[in-house]
Amino acid sequence: MSSTEEGGGAVGAPGGVVSTDQTIINNNTNNNPLQTIIPIPGTDFTRSNGELRNLRSLDEAFDGDHLDPTAQPLIQRVPSTLRRHEDFGKYYKPKVISIGPLHHDDPTLHESEKLKLKLAAHFVKKIDVDKDTLYNNMKTEMDGLKKCYDPKELEKYSNDNEKLAWMFFVDGCAILQAVYMRYGQDYHRKSNELFIKNDLLTFVYSDLFLLENQLPFRVLELLTSSGDGQNFVDSIKRFIDDIVIDPAEVKEPQSHQQDR
Look at residue 187 and tell me whether its pLDDT is greater than 70.
Answer: no
Domains: count for the chain: 1
In a domain, 56, yes or no: no
CA separation for the pair 163, 169 (Å, rounded): 10
**Is 120 contained in some domain?**
yes
60-97: pLDDT as tens digits: 888 766 666 677 789 999 998 888 888 889 999 999 99
Distance CA 214, CA 75 (A): 7
Domain annotation covers residue 247: yes
Residue 10: pLDDT band (50, 70, 90) is very low
Maximum separation of any 2 CA atoms in the chain, in Å: 111
Of the spans 5-14, 27-36, 178-187, which averages the highest pLDDT?
A: 178-187
Whole-number Å distance between alpha carbons of 77 and 56: 30
For a pLDDT cut of 90, what percent of the chain falls above it?
A: 49
Q: Kindly state whether residue 40 falls inside one of the protein's structural domains.
A: no
Q: In the structure, what pLDDT confidence band is assigned to residue 218 with cuts at 50, 70 and 90?
A: very high
Nearest to 129 by CA among 5, 223, 234, 12: 223
Comparing 129 with 16, which gets the higher pLDDT? 129
Residue 7 is assigned to a structural domain of this protein: no
Beta-ladder partners of 18 = 10
Q: Which amino acid is at 184?
A: G
Spatial separation of the C-alpha atoms in residues 38 and 81, rounded to whole Å: 45
Distance (Å, rounded) from C-alpha 176 to C-alpha 229?
10
Provide the residue count of the chain: 260
Q: Is residue 26 part of a domain?
A: no
What domain range is 150 assigned to? 95-259
The answer as to whether 198 is a domain residue is yes
115 vs 46: which has the higher pLDDT: 115
Whether the predicted pLDDT of 11 surpasses 60: no
